[in-house]
Amino acid sequence: MRKRNWIAFSLCALLRLGGAQQVEAQEARPITLEDVFRSDAFNQRSVTGINWMNDGRFYSSLSRENGATKVVQMELATGKQTAVIADGAALGLRISAYAFNPDESMLLLETEPESIYRRSRKAIFHVFDRASGQVTTLMDGKKIMHATLSPDNKQVAFVYENDLYIAALATGEVRRVTVDGQWNAIINGSADWVYEEEFSMSKAFEWSPDGKKLAFIRFDEREVPEFNMQLWGSLYPEDYKFKYPKAGEKKRANQYPHLRFGQRPNHHRGQRQRNRSVPATHLLDRRQPAARLHPAKPPTEPARFLLC
- The predicted-structure confidence for 197-216, as pLDDT tens digits, reads as follows 888 889 999 898 888 888 88
DSSP-assigned beta bridge partners for residue 158:
165
Closest CA to 204 of 131, 264, 271: 271
Q: For residue 139, how far is the Cα from the chain centroid?
A: 18
Domain map of the chain by residue range?
Answer: 32-92, 259-308
Judge contact between 138 and 122, C-beta under 8 A.
no
Q: What is the mean pLDDT of residues 161-171?
A: 94
Task: Please state whether the predicted TM-score (pTM) of the whole model is above 0.85.
Answer: no
Lowest mean pLDDT among 34-38, 130-134, 139-143: 34-38
Q: What is the mean pLDDT of residues 30-48?
A: 77
pLDDT of res. 121: 95
Backbone angles phi, psi at 194, to 5 degrees: -65, -45
Judge contact between 215 and 205, C-beta under 8 A.
yes
Lowest mean pLDDT among 34-38, 110-114, 129-133: 34-38
Strands of the sheet with 48-52, listed across from one edge: 48-52, 58-65, 68-75, 81-87
Distance CA 109, CA 125 (A): 6
pLDDT greater at residue 148 or residue 307: 148
pLDDT of res. 276: 53
Distance CA 1, CA 3 (A): 5
Residue 105 CB coordination number (10 Å): 13
Q: Any idea what the Cα angle at residue 116 is, between residues 115 and 119, rounded to 5°?
A: 80
- Given a cut of 80, whether residue 152 has pLDDT beyond it is yes
